Amino acid sequence: MTAKILCLTRGGESSYPNQDGAIAIAKDLDEELLFLYISSVQFLDYSAAPKVVDIESELDEMGEFLLVMAQERARKAGVVADILVRRGNFLEVLKDVVQEYPIETVILGSSTGDTGVITEEFTSEITEEISREYDVEFIILKDGNIQKTFKIDSDWEDCQ
């Protein structure tokens, strides 16, 4: 995999605009795209182990299905995209993937309405930390449009 653009996504219909925005960016830059789905079942820490294993597997399968749909939309747009499903803590998995692949740009979707789980404060914290550690650019999309960009050499740039 030689993707230089990483797009984190939850998948599903509410993620389509930001996935499509990431596809458009990859097409404009003539770069490959890697869609990443991170599953976490930490909320089940107090459940029986066999049930957690079943739920982990089901979340992985669901994540892979959602990413295959995004991958197909990328293919139709003329963009090479790969998919990756990982389990664990969001920040730790993100750091691992940025280290493992030749990522230069990370695209995050800004939450829409009440469906989002990532706050603007959390987004700012992780983008600054990862940009410092790994010298990557961040692009924040909202409804498929670039809302902000960040690279450690510069401050946040609002793009509205």
Q: Give the pLDDT of the chain (160 residues) as one tens digit per residue.
A: 567 999 999 877 889 999 999 999 999 999 999 999 998 765 555 555 555 557 778 888 999 999 999 999 999 999 999 999 999 988 999 999 999 999 999 999 876 655 555 677 878 888 888 988 898 999 999 999 999 888 876 555 555 4
**CA 38, CA 84: separation in Å to the nearest integer?**
9
H helices of the chain, in order, are 16-29, 49-76, 90-100, 120-134
The enclosing domain of 28 has a CATH number of: 3.40.50.620
Is 33 among the domain residues?
yes
Is 156 among the domain residues?
no
pLDDT at residue 110 in the model: 79
Is 75 among the domain residues?
yes
**CA 50, CA 66: separation in Å to the nearest integer?**
25
Q: How many domains does the chain have?
A: 1
Range(s) of the domain holding residue 32: 10-109
Is 148 among the domain residues?
no
Is 71 among the domain residues?
yes
- 3-class SS at 41? coil
Residue 89 one-letter amino acid? N
Is 47 among the domain residues?
yes
**8 touches 38 (CB < 8 A):** yes
